[in-house]
A = this chain, B = another copy of it.
């Protein structure tokens, strides 16, 4: 999953929960500015920042072997 996909997934998850960026920022402890920057596809969050956001959204990072059939 590329950066763009991660952003999209997280943003969609937040919207599905009907929660504002401000709320997520408060609950996660991540700065509102940082969250906005991330959701608008800018920036390069640290793993910790990403995990804080995911945590509040009831999600987590996982690793998988790249799917060779869907290369490129």
A interface residues (Cβ-Cβ under 8 A, vs B): 1-3, 6, 9-10, 44-48, 50-51, 54-55, 58-66
Chain B min CB distance to A51 (Å): 7
Chain B min CB distance to A50 (Å): 6
Chain B min CB distance to A11 (Å): 12
* Secondary structure class of chain A's binding surface, majority of residues: mixed
Chain B min CB distance to A60 (Å): 5
Interface contact A63-B1, CB-CB below 8 Å: yes
17 contacts between A and B (CB under 8 A): A1-B60, A3-B47, A6-B47, A6-B63, A9-B63, A44-B48, A45-B47, A47-B50, A54-B63, A58-B65, A59-B64, A60-B63, A60-B66, A61-B61, A61-B63, A62-B62, A62-B63
